[in-house]
């Protein structure tokens, strides 16, 4: 770790020291004429509004390099103190996907039939969801996203991370956008609790599962709920 990594550096004695800040001219910034700026903003909105959460996936393979570049994009996300408190586990092995599905459906069965209050189930009803999660096996990739509660130095000492949930949430949003831009579809899945993911994937105790992102092509004839998004005046206030 150094100037381009975490704010913390490890010296030759493995002691955690605060590195001296280093600043460079803003790289890569592009300013656009106002008319072009308006056009780019409008075009992006038209592009991203096509994104839909999909629950019916094709088993068609997806090139690994596409996933790698989407993850690189996620890794550019702003985050607390540049600690980058996330880890992405990309699962394509059929046996591992099956294990995840089995454990997730156990939790979902308990949720839908015992834990969830009627109000919550009523809110989910228009989406047609239930405890059956075949997409966890069918889709070519699952990306299990973990948030790191703290970092671990080579001498096993802990380094506190800041704003982990917020940071991981922003990175996940960028990842979902990158997946869409690549021409794929995704689904955010959050069985609760998710601790079984640490065991299945061999992740350490300082990492907490954030969500499972299911990725692939939509199945032929895939359908989605007929829903809409709130208009701008309901989600934003200008003062």
User: What is the helix (H) or strand (E) element at residue 14, kind and residue range?
Assistant: none
Residue 6 scores a pLDDT above 70: no
**Structure token digits, residue 156:** 């096993």
Q: Tell me, yes or no, whether 38 lies in a domain.
A: no
Residue 228 scores a pLDDT above 90: yes
Q: Tell me, yes or no, whether 177 lies in a domain.
A: yes
Picking from 17-31, 83-97, 153-167, which range would have the lowest pLDDT averaged per residue? 17-31
Q: Give the domain CATH number at 92.
A: 3.40.109.10
The neighbour count for residue 8, using CB atoms within 10 Å, is 18
User: What is the helix (H) or strand (E) element at residue 230, kind and residue range?
Assistant: none
* Paired residues of 151 in beta bridges: 159
> Number of structural domains, the chain?
1
Q: pTM of the full predicted structure?
A: 0.89
Picking from 98-102, 112-116, 211-215, which range would have the lowest pLDDT averaged per residue? 112-116
Domain residues for 159?
A: 53-235
Contacts of 69 (CB under 8 A, 6+ apart): 178, 182
The neighbour count for residue 51, using CB atoms within 10 Å, is 14
């Amino acid at each position: 770790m150094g100037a381009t990594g975490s704010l913390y550096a490890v010296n030759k004695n493995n002691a955690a020291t605060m590195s001296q800040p280093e600043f460079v001219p803003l790289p890569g910034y592009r300013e656009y004429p106002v008319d072009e700026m308006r056009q780019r903003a409008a075009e992006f909105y038209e592009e991203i509004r096509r994104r839909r959460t999909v629950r019916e996936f094709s088993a068609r393979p997806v090139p690994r390099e596409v996933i790698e570049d989407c993850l690189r994009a996620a890794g550019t996300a702003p985050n607390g103190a540049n600690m980058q408190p996330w880890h992405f586990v990309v699962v394509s092995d059929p046996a591992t996907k099956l294990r995840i599905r089995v454990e997730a459906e156990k939790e979902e069965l308990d949720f839908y039939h015992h834990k969830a209050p009627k109000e919550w189930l009523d809110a989910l009803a228009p989406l047609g969801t239930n405890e059956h999660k075949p997409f966890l096996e069918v889709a070519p990739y699952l990306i299990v996203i973990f948030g790191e509660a703290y970092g671990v130095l080579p001498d096993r000492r802990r380094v506190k991370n800041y704003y982990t949930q917020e940071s991981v949430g922003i990175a996940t949003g960028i990842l979902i956008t990158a997946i869409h831009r690549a021409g794929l579809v995704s689904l955010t899945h959050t069985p609760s609790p998710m601790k079984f993911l640490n065991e299945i994937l061999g992740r350490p105790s300082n990492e907490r599962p954030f969500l499972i992102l299911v990725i692939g092509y939509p199945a032929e004839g895939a359908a989605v709920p007929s829903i809409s998004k709130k208009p701008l005046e309901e989600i934003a206030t200008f003062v």
